[in-house]
Structure 1
């Protein structure tokens, strides 16, 4: 009306006295409409900011999908495993915000861009569902069921809301208050548009609803298959694992494996873990290809909606309560649809390229076979016994027959879905056939041209083949043999990872290890002749004495700062691998307590240059003799040690960590002071620093001889969801420590008694 309620009341109060009473009453009745209009405008004020909240949530989803895209390209995994955009409580919450527009039942969307934005959110949801499909395979059973149920509730709620909006006209029809109906035409400014133009949006919405329901069905069917497929993959992995253990290099101790043997060791486990990966298995499924086709269809439909909005006769308009946020939402989600469609499409073609050949295509077209693992979970439920809450035999029989009938229907429905997905795969298969034909033609032309020009064509470099590697492929269906290029690609990805990790080798640590060519430093470290201050003996470890020795070395005032800094960096690089060795080989509670104490002490020394709260440069005696410095550490450690009963396994007690650190310092300094008793001359700080560096280097070298064993142990883990990441960590560790392993294998072992060597 162009005026607010107060202005309207003012006009009514100033009506001429001769105004007809009936007209005055009608005008006063209109004040209710003006009041409601004012209230509606007030309620709609925050809607643009809610729209921006929706756009921000959409952007978060886009970034997560883009991160998965980049991760897949960098690792050369063209089935694009879901690492960042996974289906969980947090992502479902963000997705629910991103689809705010189609969830809004009663907010009028009168203009063309408003309608296109509402439909664009449906296309965006189709893209997100197709992208998150492989993430189902990385979940445990309970988490998988919970997330599928949550996703189903979200999709069904959205579908119901969209159907209501189609019925009420929120989708497809313009607002009658804004546009004038005239003889079956909608008049917009000076343009006349056929009413069927606006009904196009309702048709598109119906198509999107069908796509969302199909994607939900695909999710559920894939989830049922994943529940049983993991057991099959685990069984076949164990078979390959037992076969691998019989290989010659697997029979010898892991500590004696050289770098080349370790590479073969990791490569075999890399193939086993890669091919048994649940997400890799999901990429080979017909449902994945069908999801990719649906995602592509929704993308083309969204592009068509954009073109329709651009050629709209009345121009691009947005007249809803969301106001200026509508273009932001539309552009953001349109970019998300285009970017998010890449991964599902690549998975669709990659899943075929993993196993496709001319023979496989012919077999696939000839018969659509539904493998047993698709329906095994439902069959198990069908055969299982359910405890009913009533005792009546007749009721139990009825309920049992009803259960069998329902599950039989679901088994039949599951088979129909799988067959439909395999039929959908004919679409990408057509493109694959075209690509294969083009490749064959190109190879034929290249050979003919080479023969014509009498040019020797150099054959492409072939990777060294190891026919044993094919024995370590874990495949779900026995008849689906991955293509040879797939095996090569998996091996290449490991080699690239090792090469990248080689560039990150700890140079400072390597330089420190090169200072001594033997394990003499570890022999000097023998402190077993010094009784501990604690009432109970605690087990030996590598990290805590290493930090204690470094603390003494960095406290010497006469040593140049650059030398001290270099030592700190070297120890920092070494501690990363020392802690890794300890956590892999010594994982008991008492070791965990000591490792925690070492980490806390190292943080204090490296960052704050303190030891148990004492500022090293302030409290350490400023003298030229090393003996006084050692005596200060010994006496301070003795005073700081709690001689009362200490529970070493109580890793959460800071006083325990403090006592362990003080006890370690006391025994180390006392051992060094004992070695100085026969020396009449004062030991200079430079000599003490050299001795400490030798001991540090010896401890690091002795500890890092366990790296081959750690790498071998990391190659295998019991959890199928974490297996691929564990082998990835082993390959990366191998690449970073290749030079260290080679150097330490050539060293002579120290002259220690057998009981002292550990």
Structure 2
């Protein structure tokens, strides 16, 4: 028996080294499959959301994807493993094409990266691509790749060209973002001015028109969309399609023109796994080419809206300033390296001159890339426009054989288009994109209607039912707590919207003699309402002062919703004890007081600080004590209330608090559309449109309520509502809507103007 790695004669036993190679092939195929799934998910996401420029949501250039790509292209960089068969040589070619597909597919993803992240990812990608090119050249020289050398040469050229295009396109991203952010703020101010002038519409109509404008601005300034419609992305799409065609040509010739190639006899160390890798990579190339190809075709369609239009010839050799602006600015920057500061003035001057020469070379290269990309686009438009002209002729001939009633019915939508808003002022575009304004406006006008309809299908039915029972003026905001309740501390913490709702719901669930269906409806309604309350508190609480209180509400509600427990108190068990509502309220108040004192003794240091910094359980216990004591006072003043009646009264109080919070809906949308980062602004506006669709009925209900005369920023705070009500006459605890008239309101309309 020989030593490990040697045979009985002591010679090297290299046969053992090749045994795990099929498993390595499976590993390579698995990495390709992961990339395939991510690129397919992007394609499905683009079609589903009607984004035919296909943003990179699941597959982009980052540390994870680069690691997967490095594994997936192992066959291209394998220098010494024999690959004699047809599928072996094709697998090497498909690995090289796979890189081209990845670069063409993921170009828009650089729009959502930070500057440092862009730099690191480009450097990592460049190292990977250069390594592959060097390895392929070595294999061509050694004979490891003995067929498809022309295809490999063409793919290496395309690979290098795509890398240069990708690198210099990423270089313009900071300039584009800065310019679009500036234009968005200007257009946003214009939208606010126009919104303030329209006072004869309902809140829903105002919000809908506002969101249409915000959507047009957010969509057209989305960094991924801007890069996706750029001339370099158009060119990369064409090059990506060309690389896929080269692979298809090589596979066709090798399988159907058998005399064109002579393959060797033998077997690869990868054995059957090579075929698996080839199938997976070919499928990945086919799927990954869909997005770049459609971006290329849609860019062509955008640039030739009129068949036979040749106006794009005028800008063929024009390079817009944003392509080279950052390079021009870098020429004036001094070298900041400490190494150069230690040398003499002559050395520093020479280094600065070398930097300027290098940047001049980069500017010339960037100019060449833009011009070449425009030439590729020009050739594409020239060929495709002829095809479109033929299609138009066929359509015109087909129309001649149609009946007149069909023609008239087809013309009806055109007449309705006159009623649409003129959104051309809200289309954000770069220099040289003037011809795209009308096309982008026409193609994205109905996007808000699409998301509104989707939102309407998912209305919060239980919340709507609750708000219909809310009082005029939302007097429950003033009633859930009272100064008559003795305080446990010197300074009470600030109230939030969510914590009183959670505490009141806990009390309602502990009451006896309440129908099961009423409990379920309350939990469902509060669940739906808290979704909006949490989002609004996050947007309106800019300083994050209420972070602990919001956290306390979330922690308590998780226990109530999932286990029907407030901290350690089983609310369901408490409601089945058969005691009166008074005893239940007294027990809850006493339990909360004991819990507060227990936690106070354990957390003395915390209670000496600002109440907003108290632990979540302390805040929850204090809220339960005050609210349960206040409900007990109300119950004692109206002792004839049964458990079901008190439950309904508390439910109305909850609906009043939720309704008062939801009056800040438009202010929250305004903040969300402006404060979000440019990379995520489009998603923010889309979510806002979807939320509007879900809450149309809610906003109509709120319009019928009388509101206090508070400023917009005051309406965001529940304590401001309560402070105003302390200055008014105290409301009696009654379900009559007439009590809402005691509120002094400056208008019957909702204070939802965007400030």
Q: TM-score, normalised by structure 2?
A: 0.87
Conserved? CA contact 1:538–1:648, under 8 Å: no
Moved more, 420-429 or 494-503: 420-429
1:44-88 CA deviation, whole Å, 9 max, x = no partner?
Answer: 222212211111111111111111111111221211111111111
Conserved? CA contact 2:427–2:437, under 8 Å: no
Conserved? CA contact 2:111–2:224, under 8 Å: yes
1:430 aligns with 2:370: no
Moved more, 157-166 or 665-674: 157-166
In structure 1, what is the equivalent of residue 655 of structure 2? 697
RMSD, aligned α-carbons: 3.0
Partner Cα separation in structure 2 for residue 582 and residue 317 of structure 1: 71
Q: Would the alpha carbon gap of residues 116 and 629 (structure 1) be closer, same or farther in structure 2, given more than 3 Å must change?
A: same
Q: After TM superposition, give the deviation of residue 391 of structure 1 in Å.
A: 3.8
Partner Cα separation in structure 2 for residue 323 and residue 748 of structure 1: 78
1:664 aligns with 2:638: no
Conserved? CA contact 1:283–1:350, under 8 Å: no
Q: 2:226 aligns with which of 281, 290, 295?
A: 281
Conserved? CA contact 1:269–1:716, under 8 Å: no
1:545 aligns with 2:500: yes
Q: List alignment gaps of at least 5 residues for structure 2.
A: 710-720, 728-755
Partner Cα separation in structure 2 for residue 584 and residue 156 of structure 1: 47
1:406 aligns with 2:366: no
Trace 1:351-390 onto structure 2 (pairs within 5 A). 351-358=299-306, 362-366=310-314, 367-387=316-336, 388-390=340-342
1:701-754 CA deviation, whole Å, 9 max, x = no partner?
Answer: 111121122122222225221221221121111111111111111123479886
Conserved? CA contact 1:51–1:322, under 8 Å: yes
Moved more, 516-525 or 731-740: 516-525
Moved more, 354-363 or 86-95: 354-363
Q: After TM superposition, give the deviation of residue 448 of structure 1 in Å.
A: 4.4
Q: 1:734 aligns with which of 668, 678, 692?
A: 692
In structure 1, what is the equivalent of residue 111 of structure 2? 137
Q: After TM superposition, give the deviation of residue 274 of structure 1 in Å.
A: 1.0
Q: After TM superposition, give the deviation of residue 215 of structure 1 in Å.
A: 0.7
Partner Cα separation in structure 2 for residue 272 and residue 583 of structure 1: 24
In structure 1, what is the equivalent of residue 749 of structure 2? none
SS of equivalent residue, structure 2 residue 706: coil
Moved more, 226-235 or 354-363: 354-363
Q: Would the alpha carbon gap of residues 465 and 150 (structure 1) be closer, same or farther in structure 2, given more than 3 Å must change?
A: farther
Moved more, 443-452 or 485-494: 443-452
1:587-618 CA deviation, whole Å, 9 max, x = no partner?
Answer: 43431110000000000111122111222234
Q: 1:49 aligns with which of 23, 31, 34?
A: 23
In structure 2, what is the equivalent of residue 685 of structure 1? 643
1:119-138 CA deviation, whole Å, 9 max, x = no partner?
Answer: 11111111111010011111
1:755 aligns with 2:724: yes
Count of residue pairs brought into register by the alignment: 700
1:150 aligns with 2:124: yes
Partner Cα separation in structure 2 for residue 304 and residue 273 of structure 1: 42
Q: After TM superposition, give the deviation of residue 113 of structure 1 in Å.
A: 0.7
Q: After TM superposition, give the deviation of residue 106 of structure 1 in Å.
A: 2.0
Moved more, 264-273 or 441-450: 441-450
Q: 1:85 aligns with which of 59, 82, 87?
A: 59
SS of equivalent residue, structure 2 residue 178: helix
Partner Cα separation in structure 2 for residue 491 and residue 460 of structure 1: 18
Partner Cα separation in structure 1 for residue 241 and residue 412 of structure 2: 35
In structure 2, what is the equivalent of residue 673 of structure 1? 632
SS of equivalent residue, structure 1 residue 321: coil
1:165 aligns with 2:165: no
Q: After TM superposition, give the deviation of residue 394 of structure 1 in Å.
A: 1.9
Conserved? CA contact 1:498–1:732, under 8 Å: yes
1:611 aligns with 2:563: no
Q: TM-score, normalised by structure 1?
A: 0.86
SS of equivalent residue, structure 1 residue 354: helix
In structure 2, what is the equivalent of residue 304 of structure 1? 249
Moved more, 503-512 or 395-404: 395-404
Moved more, 348-357 or 44-53: 348-357
Partner Cα separation in structure 2 for residue 460 and residue 50 of structure 1: 62
1:598 aligns with 2:553: yes
Conserved? CA contact 2:552–2:617, under 8 Å: yes
Q: Would the alpha carbon gap of residues 365 and 698 (structure 1) be closer, same or farther in structure 2, given more than 3 Å must change?
A: same
Q: Would the alpha carbon gap of residues 58 and 250 (structure 1) be closer, same or farther in structure 2, given more than 3 Å must change?
A: farther
Partner Cα separation in structure 1 for residue 548 and residue 197 of structure 2: 33
Conserved? CA contact 1:244–1:250, under 8 Å: no
Q: After TM superposition, give the deviation of residue 248 of structure 1 in Å.
A: 4.0
Partner Cα separation in structure 2 for residue 629 and residue 452 of structure 1: 76
Bigger radius of gyration: 1
Trace 1:57-206 onto structure 2 (pairs within 5 A). 57-172=31-146, 198=147, 201-206=148-153
In structure 1, what is the equivalent of residue 164 of structure 2? 217
Conserved? CA contact 2:510–2:574, under 8 Å: no
Trace 1:256-655 onto structure 2 (pairs within 5 A). 258-311=203-256, 312=258, 319-358=267-306, 362-366=310-314, 367-387=316-336, 388-446=340-398, 448-449=400-401, 456=408, 458-459=410-411, 461-462=413-414, 463-466=417-420, 468-477=422-431, 480-516=434-470, 518=472, 519-618=474-573, 622-641=577-596, 642-643=599-600, 644-646=604-606
Conserved? CA contact 1:508–1:566, under 8 Å: yes
Partner Cα separation in structure 2 for residue 126 and residue 528 of structure 1: 71
Partner Cα separation in structure 1 for residue 181 and residue 287 of structure 2: 34
Partner Cα separation in structure 2 for residue 565 and residue 717 of structure 1: 37
SS of equivalent residue, structure 2 residue 434: coil
